[in-house]
Amino acid sequence: MAMEEIRGRGEEPRDAVHRAPAPGGAPDEAPGGGPGAALLVEDDPGVLRALQGAVESAGWSAEAARDGAEALESLARSRPDVILLDLEMPGMDGWQLLESLGREAVFAGIPVVVVSAFAAPAGVRALRKPVALEALVEVLDEHAPRRGGGGRPPEDEGGPAEPRTA
């Protein structure tokens, strides 16, 4: 079986993810009987397409944001089950988004997984680019909702002022 990867900026092929067929030809369902929702924060269009394709092939919905500001706009509309976050982006970068999420109690329950070629902050779950598809699917499985569907409305959140890191 070929290693499946999502590559970062400057690495080829960055807009393709090679997948082995799932048993039975269909993606696994997330535990709890339904797919989850992921917010993908990534400025590289090729990496973003590959991440989105991989997340959707695992049965999840995926919303894309090209920087931290777009991510905050998305979070104002709905709450994903997990945020996959690049750190180095123009405009509001991943570091600034992490800081902003930490200041808002409403974002506390959303796990953040850094997807970057750079080292992640201590205590934050990370996937290094190039990302093995199996590792990405494992992270999604860990954060699959235990209820039906994904993407909670914003008013459903609350809790401590620190975002939950995966």
Q: Is pLDDT at 10 greater than 80 in this prediction?
A: no
8-state DSSP, 45: H
Check if the beta carbon of residue 125 is closer than 8 Å to that of residue 111.
yes
Tell me the mean pLDDT in the region 90-97: 96
- The answer to whether the beta carbons of residues 62 and 52 sit under 8 Å apart is yes
* Cis amide linkage into residue 23, ω under 30° from 0: no
Between 8 and 11, name the one with better pLDDT.
8
What mean pLDDT value characterizes the chain?
A: 77
Q: Which domains does the chain have, with CATH numbers?
A: 33-156 (3.40.50.2300)
Residue 135 contacts residue 128 (beta carbons within 8 Å): no
Helix (H, G, I), strand (E, B) or coil at 137: helix
How large is the average pLDDT for residues 90-117? 95
58: confidence class by pLDDT, cuts 50, 70, 90: very high
Q: How far apart, in whole angstroms, are the C-alpha atoms of residue 20 and residue 94?
A: 31
